[in-house]
């Protein structure tokens, strides 16, 4: 490869980057990750107003809640933001598995003076089968729509494209990235092993390659046809520049925003993330039924040591997980929360979302070292 060849490739990459930012309507290649239950319209608007891409996650709410969140965000910013949807395979109820799970959880409920629920409910509807939510999204037409856990059907995607939405989807492997490209999605989000919260893997029952942010981002840049946004462990400007060096068009940060005042994280979660515990995260399916990276706590310890192997499917297990957390919190015990966090947690810096975006970009645009 000649030096000229490399320079030409660099120009092609620069062009792809500018084109992607223009399509997203942003000026700074920083995406605030959608974090259901944690990110807020206020956070998303602040990030978008600062030039990045704010995100709201409507996968854990219904149509009325989603409409409210979108309306609230629009009231706070005239700039584009991202609306994120959960597109998991719809699970079948399995009452025997549910009862086995609830029996195993009973002692944890009882030490908090509570009893487990009588059964497990499917607390969220996948966007894949949610025609009402599709109608809402087509009505409000967010500039950007992103998918997590999988892809909706071709008709959904076609309708969203015709409505003018730019589409993004998470991939954790090259095979998923190919599926994303084949479905007509515009941008792929490479979610590395380091990432906090729910792992976007399409089929959690299949073997997981567990590709690190570094390896996954590089692989998708080289072998996927789509622009790549990298996610997983990115906490500052150096991190942003590292994934840009790999060829990513932007960086998506979630954990970095958890300690913002605009976040819904409770005090115990913020304290855990600010302390030594941030060094210890666990990928566990025991809380929700799907693998997710969480600060090590009482719930993840039980998941590692005491939980039955046959965890009810997402989101059935999450019904019990949320009930257990509520019972524990009522007694002042915070160790049963879904305290999602990525492996970069120890590098977190609490500040407002706008200040964080500004700082990140200031750090990222410091002239780089040239040692030759």
Footprint on this chain of a second copy (rule: CB under 8 A)? 1, 3, 6-7, 10, 13-14, 17-18, 21, 29, 173-174, 192-194, 207, 209-216, 218-219, 221-223, 232-236, 238-239, 241-247, 279-281, 283, 342-344, 346-347, 359, 362-363, 365-369, 371-372
Least distance (Å) between residue 279 CB and a second copy: 6
135 vs 223, beta carbon nearer a second copy = 223
Least distance (Å) between residue 301 CB and a second copy: 10
By C-alpha distance, which of 369, 23, 345, 349 is closest to 164?
Answer: 23
* Residue 91: partners with Cβ closer than 8 Å, 6 or more residues away: 122, 289, 313, 314, 315, 316
123 vs 366, beta carbon nearer a second copy = 366
Q: Does residue 9 have a cis peptide bond before it, meaning omega lies within 30 degrees of 0?
A: no
Sign of CA dihedral 225, 231, 234, 237: positive
Q: How many residues does the chain have?
A: 372
Least distance (Å) between residue 349 CB and a second copy: 10
116 vs 254, beta carbon nearer a second copy = 254
Least distance (Å) between residue 127 CB and a second copy: 29
126 vs 255, beta carbon nearer a second copy = 255
Distances (CA, A) of 69 to 63, 108, 137: 10, 34, 12
Q: Are strands 228-231 and 197-198 parallel, antiparallel or unpaired?
A: unpaired
Least distance (Å) between residue 73 CB and a second copy: 27
Residue 197 backbone phi and psi in degrees, to 5: 75, -165
210 vs 270, beta carbon nearer a second copy = 210
Task: Return d(Cα 187, Cα 57) in angstroms, integer.
Answer: 18
Least distance (Å) between residue 159 CB and a second copy: 33
Least distance (Å) between residue 213 CB and a second copy: 4
Residue 87 backbone phi and psi in degrees, to 5: -125, 55
171 vs 216, beta carbon nearer a second copy = 216
Give yes or no for a contact between 302 and 102, defined as CB atoms under 8 angstroms apart. Answer: no
Least distance (Å) between residue 303 CB and a second copy: 13
154 vs 366, beta carbon nearer a second copy = 366
200 vs 239, beta carbon nearer a second copy = 239
Task: Return d(Cα 212, Cα 214) in angstroms, integer.
Answer: 5
Least distance (Å) between residue 38 CB and a second copy: 20
90 vs 304, beta carbon nearer a second copy = 304
Burial of residue 138, with CB atoms counted within 10 A of its CB: 0-12 exposed, 13-18 middle, 19 or more buried: middle
| Alpha helices (H) in the chain, listed in sequence order | 3-24, 41-49, 63-76, 95-110, 131-140, 154-162, 174-182, 213-223, 237-245, 255-258, 267-274, 298-305, 316-330, 353-364
| CA geometry: angle 23, 24, 29, nearest 5 deg | 115
């Amino acid at each position: 490869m000649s030096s000229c060849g490399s320079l030409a490739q660099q120009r092609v990459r620069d062009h792809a980057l500018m084109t992607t930012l223009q399509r997203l309507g942003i000026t700074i290649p920083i995406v605030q990750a959608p974090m259901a239950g944690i990110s807020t319209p206020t956070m998303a608007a602040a990030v978008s107003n600062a030039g990045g891409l704010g995100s709201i996650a409507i996968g854990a709410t219904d149509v009325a809640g989603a409409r409210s969140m979108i309306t609230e965000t629009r009231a706070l910013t005239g700039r584009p933001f991202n609306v994120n949807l959960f597109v998991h395979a719809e699970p079948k109820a399995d009452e025997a598995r549910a009862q086995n799970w609830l029996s195993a959880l009973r002692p944890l409920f009882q030490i908090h003076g509570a009893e487990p629920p009588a059964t497990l409910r499917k607390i969220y509807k996948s966007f894949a089968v949610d025609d009402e939510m599709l109608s809402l999204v087509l009505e409000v037409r967010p500039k950007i729509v992103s998918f997590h856990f999988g892809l909706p059907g071709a008709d959904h995607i076609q309708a969203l494209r015709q409505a003018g939405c730019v589409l993004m989807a998470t991939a954790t492997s090259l095979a998923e990235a190919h599926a994303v490209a084949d479905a007509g999605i515009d941008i792929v989000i490479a979610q590395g092993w380091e990432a906090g919260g729910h792992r976007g893997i399409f089929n959690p029952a299949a073997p997981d390659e567990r590709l690190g942010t570094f390896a996954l981002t590089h692989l998708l840049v080289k072998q996927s046809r789509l622009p790549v946004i990298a996610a997983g462990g990115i906490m500052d400007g150096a991190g942003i520049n590292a994934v840009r060096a790999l060829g990513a068009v932007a960086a998506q940060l979630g954990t970095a925003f958890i300690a913002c005042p605009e976040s819904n994280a409770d005090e115990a979660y913020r304290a855990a993330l600010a302390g030594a515990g941030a060094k210890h995260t666990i990928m566990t399916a025991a809380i929700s039924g799907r693998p997710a990276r969480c600060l090590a706590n009482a719930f993840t310890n039980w998941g590692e040591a005491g939980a039955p192997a046959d965890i009810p499917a997402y989101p059935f297990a999450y019904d019990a997980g949320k009930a257990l957390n509520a019972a524990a919190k009522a007694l002042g015990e915070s160790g049963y929360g879904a305290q999602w966090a990525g492996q970069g947690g120890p590098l977190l810096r609490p500040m407002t979302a706008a200040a964080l975006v500004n700082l990140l970009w200031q750090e990222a645009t410091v002239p780089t070292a040239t040692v030759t």
